[in-house]
Copies of this chain bind each other. A is one copy, B any other.
């Protein structure tokens, strides 16, 4: 039997006009700002008007540590949303926007897969509603204004060697990682070394995704530390005077984007911060608005649960006052097999023993998630070649670890395949058994926050950090930043900082290479290992085969 590709399925989608999708949510035409016929932004006035509504239940979808076999976290998020609607619930999906640049490196980006997708797929992987372009513009304006301030006399006494604000572009361009700017003589300013990150790594992105409204957005933008003086005094974006104009540039980008699933159910796709140097969740404004409009909101967090769910709980939920009712942990038989030592080429053959051996990673995540006070359901994202014995092995393991596992076939069957999962998830959410709490308090010293995550989530024995890092953390505590959460930046492939260490390692150390203050976003980034903030293109970039076909359709993007 052969299966259709994601793009074939997406192209066959019977999309409804976006206003019909808005109607389901009670959004009047004048408050739904269309972008084409299948995308729209929700007006701030409408969002204001629903603030007195009761909140729906928040459901987080997260995953085991990713393997090359693929887990299908977004696919499961979309499938679960459709499943809930199928069983008669009023549910919405909230996911992140894709970054444009990386699509030209590797094929990818799609929002879900199989019969659990959000559409229009092509546009969501290209310019979509322009949010990321607006973020690039706002970031670039601040960059230009900093150098312009220095050029015209440097009244703030910025030390050119200590400009912390780099530039960004939404493109994989390794040539820009490290540059010298302002060459060419007096008219072009003072030469200095700097570089570019990809747009999703911009602090502006993290801010947009954590801000409650435009006022909060401007306040946070103003709080960004852009440089230091020779005396190490911090210079803020507010000092440069860029916060107002940046807010103007981000005015539309702040509004959630409404699209639909293949089954014509509503989905917000909004924001997309890095899951390493930022918190990796869709925007607070989208999630909170969805909770006002739907009884169940299914959202996801980046990477595996050790990074994504941890930050969702400790950063996003803490800061936005959100509390998940249930967590869905996505696992696949294939990923268990890889964790159990099977090579990717051999995944096709049944291997129950390897599945059992690989379940430790899953078990660790279950334990961790429960430590936030939230019930956990494991969704076995079914692949058509998974055998019954393999599935049973995962189920048995999960049963023995204080949770339950449910097979979901949304990829193959859409909501028909996810109805069982949806039914059970709704039951648990409705039971109101969650007693959510972040795993560290605001007033814990910063280094202890790092240790708490390293020991309780990663199960490391120790955190290694030299005096410079420890002193820096103490300085920030003295400067009033001690109550911020920490945002861990480490490999997504392992609980440890060694990407090759699969399963459920213990006894390892977490070396902190560097700490960074994202004062506008409101967290301390803790860099453990190499973190790439500007990807490069591969030898044969996907761009080489991207183009329009004779029908004017986009080929090669997926």
Q: Which residues of A contact B (CB under 8 A)?
A: 30, 33-37, 44, 100, 104, 126-127, 130, 133-134, 136-137, 140-141, 143-145, 147-148, 151-153, 169-184, 187-189, 193, 195, 214, 218, 241-245, 247-249, 251-252, 536-537, 539, 541, 543-548, 552, 554, 556-557
**Contact B127–A137 (Cβ < 8 Å):** yes
Known contacts A37-B33, A133-B133, A137-B170; decide if A248 and B188 are in contact (CB<8 Å): no
Residues in B with CB closer than 8 Å to A44 are 552
**Contact B174–A548 (Cβ < 8 Å):** no
Distance (Å) between the CB of A495 and the closest chain B CB?
27
**Which residue from B126, B152, B169, B251 sits with its C-beta under 8 Å from A548?**
B251
Q: Bound complex: CA of A548 vs CA of B247, how far in Å?
A: 7
Known contacts A44-B552, A248-B554; decide if A543 and B241 are in contact (CB<8 Å): yes
Distance (Å) between the CB of A558 and the closest chain B CB?
12
Residues in B with CB closer than 8 Å to A218 are 547-548
Residues in B with CB closer than 8 Å to A252 are 127
Distance (Å) between the CB of A16 and the closest chain B CB?
13
Extra contacts besides A33-B36, A127-B130, A140-B173 (11): CB < 8 Å = A33-B37, A104-B145, A127-B252, A137-B170, A141-B171, A143-B171, A147-B173, A178-B183, A178-B184, A244-B548, A245-B547
Q: Bound complex: CA of A147 vs CA of B175, how far in Å?
A: 7
User: In this complex, what residue of B is CB-closest to A170?
Assistant: B137
**Contact B127–A543 (Cβ < 8 Å):** no
Residues in B with CB closer than 8 Å to A195 are 184
User: In this complex, what residue of B is CB-closest to A546?
Assistant: B245
Distance (Å) between the CB of A196 and the closest chain B CB?
9
Q: Bound complex: CA of A513 vs CA of B359, how far in Å?
A: 71
Residues in B with CB closer than 8 Å to A30 are 37
Distance (Å) between the CB of A258 and the closest chain B CB?
14
Q: Bound complex: CA of A142 vs CA of B252, how far in Å?
A: 28
Residues in B with CB closer than 8 Å to A543 are 141, 145, 241-242, 244-245
Known contacts A144-B173, A171-B144, A184-B177; decide if A552 and B214 are in contact (CB<8 Å): yes
**Contact B175–A188 (Cβ < 8 Å):** yes
How many copies altogether? 2
**Which residue from B33, B175, B189 sits with its C-beta under 8 Å from A144?**
B175
Distance (Å) between the CB of A143 and the closest chain B CB?
7
**Which residue from B37, B127, B144, B183 sits with its C-beta under 8 Å from A537?**
B144
Distance (Å) between the CB of A162 and the closest chain B CB?
16
Q: Bound complex: CA of A195 vs CA of B184, how far in Å?
A: 10
Q: Bound complex: CA of A148 vs CA of B181, how far in Å?
A: 20
Q: Bound complex: CA of A554 vs CA of B247, how far in Å?
A: 10
Q: Bound complex: CA of A145 vs CA of B536, how far in Å?
A: 10
Residues in B with CB closer than 8 Å to A544 are 241, 244-245
Q: Bound complex: CA of A546 vs CA of B247, how far in Å?
A: 9
Q: Bound complex: CA of A136 vs CA of B170, how far in Å?
A: 10
**Contact A188–B214 (Cβ < 8 Å):** no
Residues in B with CB closer than 8 Å to A247 are 547-548
User: In this complex, what residue of B is CB-closest to A251?
Assistant: B548
Distance (Å) between the CB of A433 and the closest chain B CB?
41
**Contact A248–B175 (Cβ < 8 Å):** no
Distance (Å) between the CB of A183 and the closest chain B CB?
4
In the assembled complex, 27 residue pairs joining A and B whose CB atoms fall closer than 8 Å, in A order, are A34-B36, A100-B137, A104-B141, A104-B144, A126-B248, A126-B249, A127-B130, A127-B133, A127-B137, A127-B249, A127-B252, A133-B133, A133-B136, A141-B171, A147-B173, A147-B174, A148-B174, A151-B174, A151-B175, A175-B188, A177-B188, A179-B181, A187-B536, A214-B552, A241-B543, A243-B547, A244-B547
Residues in B with CB closer than 8 Å to A183 are 178-180, 193
**Contact A174–B188 (Cβ < 8 Å):** yes
**Contact B182–A180 (Cβ < 8 Å):** no
Distance (Å) between the CB of A222 and the closest chain B CB?
11
Residues in B with CB closer than 8 Å to A35 are 34-36
Distance (Å) between the CB of A114 and the closest chain B CB?
24
Q: Bound complex: CA of A327 vs CA of B140, how far in Å?
A: 40
Known contacts A244-B546, A537-B148; decide if A169 and B140 are in contact (CB<8 Å): yes
Q: Bound complex: CA of A245 vs CA of B537, how far in Å?
A: 14
Residues in B with CB closer than 8 Å to A133 are 127, 130, 133, 136-137
Q: Bound complex: CA of A205 vs CA of B169, how far in Å?
A: 18
**Contact B537–A145 (Cβ < 8 Å):** yes
Residues in B with CB closer than 8 Å to A136 are 133
User: When A and B form their complex, which 3 residue pairs have the shortest distance between CB atoms, in order from nearest?
Assistant: A244-B547, A178-B184, A133-B133
**Which residue from B137, B180, B251 sits with its C-beta under 8 Å from A180?**
B180
**Contact B536–A151 (Cβ < 8 Å):** yes
Q: Bound complex: CA of A316 vs CA of B174, how far in Å?
A: 37
**Which residue from B170, B251, B541 sits with its C-beta under 8 Å from A554?**
B251
Residues in B with CB closer than 8 Å to A182 are 174-175, 178-179
Residues in B with CB closer than 8 Å to A170 are 137
Known contacts A171-B144, A547-B248; decide if A188 and B181 are in contact (CB<8 Å): no
Residues in B with CB closer than 8 Å to A180 are 179-180, 183
User: In this complex, what residue of B is CB-closest to A172?
Assistant: B144
Residues in B with CB closer than 8 Å to A541 are 145, 148
